[in-house]
Amino acid sequence: MSNLEAAGSSAMSVKLATDSDPAAQALVAFLAGAEPAPGYTHDHVAAYRALCRHSEPLLLAADDGAVYLSPAAGDAFEAALRAQRYRPAGGTLALRLPQSMGGGAGTYVLWATPRYLAAGTGSEHIWK
């Protein structure tokens, strides 16, 4: 099998996994700014967009290629992020959740795109 065939096969398996996995569908819709997948809602927590299930924010996103994943989100969301080329970046975010989301503190793990990671801290802009 050539590299091109392997890449096409890999892309097809990612698409098929996304088509059959509700967590992956929810993640892809959320990152694209599309309507939420069934069973999920989109909301805001502080300055972050939030992907929620049953009012629980599972994923927070900034517009710069960084997302923050709740440990409660589970392995399916980690796999879906990897399929979208996000990688764990070693940072965490802790913030107070609004009462509508249960209140208390939430802790999230930073996942980032290669572009975000290449920019260093994420505070620098990358121009096309």
Scanning the structure block, which residue is given the tokens 């969301």? 77
Mean pLDDT computed over every residue of the chain: 82
Tell me, what's the pLDDT at 8?
Answer: 42
Q: Over range 83-111, report the average pLDDT.
A: 93
The predicted model gives 69-91 an average pLDDT of 94
Q: Is the pLDDT of residue 49 over 90?
A: yes
Confidence (pLDDT) at 63: 73
d(CA 102, CA 73): 16
Classify residue 23 by burial, with Cβ atoms within 10 Å: 0-12, 13-18, 19+.
buried
Please give the pLDDT value at position 127: 37
DSSP string, the chain: --HHHHHHHHHHHHHHHHHH-HHHHHHHHHHHT-PPPTT-EEEEETTEEEEEETTEEEEEE-TTSEEEE-GGG-HHHHHHHHHTT-EEEEEEEEEEPPGGGT-SEEEEEEEE-HHHHHTSSS-S----
Indicate if the pLDDT at residue 6 is higher than 50: no
76: which 2 tokens? 């399916």
Q: Is the pLDDT of residue 36 over 60?
A: yes
**The predicted structure's pLDDT at residue 120:** 74
Picking from 106, 117, 118, the residue whose alpha carbon sits closest to that of residue 73 is 106
Q: Within a 10 A sphere around the Cβ of 93, how many other Cβ atoms?
A: 17
37-46 pLDDT per residue, tens: 999 999 999 8
Is the whole model's pTM more than 0.85, yes or no?
A: no
